[in-house]
A and B are shown apart, each in its own frame.
Chain A
C-alpha cells in the first residue's frame, strides 16, 4: 500500500471541545459539558455504550448537529456556526452512506467535484486513492453491486481523497463481519499512522478502541468519564464505569467493608477477611475513619484460584465453567456476589466446587461505592 504520496500532501489540525453541551428538544441532555482536547495527528477514540453521547459529540464536530452551548474548535477556528462543508473535515459513516445513484468513481470524485477541481486532477486523484484502498477494479460499479467490505473501502477512499484536516469516523467497522473487521481495523490504523491526520473515531467496541487509539475517551450518559492511552484507562480506571466497561469479561467487583482493628486495616465480608495491602494504606483518603464500604475491583485475568485453602484467599464456589479452548472463564460466587476468573486451559473445576481466590494487590483497585470513583 503506498500511502506515502497521499501522506506527503496531507494536512492536519487539532480539535477541541470546550464545555460543549447538547440538549435535545424535550430537555434530554445528550452531552454534558464536554471538555476534550484532541492533539494534532492523534487518533482519539470516543468509546461508550449506545446513547452515551459519543455520536452526538462527533456530529456536533461535523456540523450535523447544532451545539447548545460551549465551543468547538478545529485548529484555531471556532466552528460552532460553520456549515459542515466549511469545516475541512471528512466523515466515514456507519452505513457508509455511499451515493447510491453514482458509480464508485463518481463517489470518490464527489468531494473534489464539489470543490471544482480540474477534471484531470480529479481523475488522477481518484486513481491514486483507488489504488491505496484497493478498489481500482470497482470504479465503474454502483454501490449496490459491491460487497460490504468493498463499500467500506469506497467510503474510506471518499474520506481520504480530499486531504481534510480532520477525519471523523462513526463506527465504520460495525457492519463488517468479525474476520473482516479485525483485518480492516489493522489497515485503518496503518492509514492513520501514514496520513498522520487527526482522527476522531466513535465506537462502542472496546477491542476496537484499545487497538486503534492513541488515546481513548470514555463517555457515559453524556459525561466524559476518562481520557487516556489504552493502557492508562485499562490499568488505572478513573471510576467503576470505566473499570467495568473495559475488558471482556469485565472487572470483578466485590462489595466489602473496610475495618480498623488493632491499628491495622482489613477488608471484610461475610466470608472474606484480608489485610489491606500496605501500599494502599497511605494512599487511602481519610483512612482513619472507622468503618466504611468499599468496592474491590480485580480483573478476571488477575484472579488466581487454588483448590486448597489459602491463608489470604477468598472462599468461592464454582457456578459455571465456560471453556473457550485456549482458556476458560470460571464463574464464581463469593458471598452471593458474582465473580469471574480467567484461567488457562487444563485446570478443570466442576460445578459446585469450592475454591480459594487470590489476587495480586498491585493489580487490584478500590472504589467508593457511593461516588463510584477510584480510591486506590
Chain B
C-alpha cells in the first residue's frame, strides 16, 4: 500500500494476529483439553500442550454414550429445517421480489416476518409444547425440524430477496418471451443464477439448527435429542465431565466447521455477471 510506513503495517498485522489468536484460543483450548486425561486437566498450572494424550473421552462419548445417535438426530433435524425453510423461503422471496402488491403490502409482509425473530424463543416455548403434545410431534425429529424451519424462514426470505434482486430483470423477461411461465423462469433462470446464494442460505440455516439449544431441550427427550443437548448432558447431577464436554464440543463443531468453509466459498457472488452488458 502506497504511503504506509512499515511501522504502521507491522502494527496492523500484529493487531490482526492478536484478534485471530483471541478468537482461536478457546477453540485450541477445547481441542487441547479433549485429549487430556482426568489427572491432567485438573493439573495446576494447566499444561498448555497436552502431555499424555488419551482418547478416553472420545471413547466414552462414541462407544459408551452412542454419541452418533445424537449426531444423526442433529443431521436429520438440520436437513429438515434447512430444506423446508429454503424451499418455502425461496418461493416467498421470489414472489415478493417480482410482484408488486398494492398498498405497499410487500414491505409490510417483510416487516411482519421479521417480528418472528424479534421476540425471544422462550416466549413461545409453552404454547409450542402444548401444541406439540397434542399433535404428537414431541420428541420427534420432524417436530424439531419444523420449528427450526419456522424460526429461520424470515432470514431465508430476506437473504433470498437480496439474491433475486441481483438477477437482471431482462434475463427473466427474455425467458418469458422465449416461452417460459413464471415457475419455469424461477426453476431455469432465477434459481441457477441465485445458486451460490441459495447454498449459502441453506448452510446458514443448517448451522443455526445444528447449534440450537433451547427448543431442542424442551421439545425432545430421548428419541430426537440433538448434539447440543447431549453436550450439556455431560454435566450430571454428580459430576462435571470436563474431558467429555471438550471432546463433545470438538465432535459437534467439526461438521459445522466443514460446512462453514463451504459456505465461505459459496458466498462469493457474481455468477449473474456476463449475461448482460457491463
* A residues neighboring B (CB under 8 Å): 62-64, 83-85, 87, 89-91, 93-101, 110-111, 114-115, 142-145, 148, 151, 158, 162, 168, 175
Contact = CB atoms under 8 A, between A and B. Distances in A.
Given A93-B170, A95-B170, A97-B170, A62 B274 contact: no
A91 B192 CA distance: 22
B275 A97 contact: yes
B177 A91 contact: yes
A5 B122 CA distance: 71
B117 to A, nearest CB: 31
A62 B177 contact: yes
A114 B276 contact: no
Nearest to A168: B177
Contacts of B173: 62, 64, 84, 91, 93, 97
A111 B277 contact: no
Contacts of B176: 63-64, 83-85
A97 B179 contact: no
Given A100-B272, A148-B277, A83 B189 contact: no
A363 B272 CA distance: 53
Interface in B181-229: 181, 184, 189, 192-193
Nearest to A148: B277
14 contacts: A83-B181, A85-B178, A85-B181, A96-B170, A97-B168, A99-B189, A100-B193, A100-B276, A110-B175, A111-B179, A114-B178, A114-B184, A115-B179, A144-B274
B171 A100 contact: yes
A97 B167 CA distance: 10
B175 A99 contact: yes
Nearest to B195: A101
Contacts of A114: 178-180, 184
Given A97-B171, A114-B184, A144 B177 contact: no
A175 B277 contact: yes
A91 B277 contact: no
Contact of A101 (B170, B271, B278): B271
A231 B180 CA distance: 40
A89 B168 contact: no
A95 B276 contact: yes
Contact of B178 (A142, A148, A158): A158
B271 to A, nearest CB: 7
A204 B173 CA distance: 22
Contacts of A145: 274
Nearest to B174: A97
B171 A99 contact: yes
Nearest to B169: A97
Nearest to B178: A111
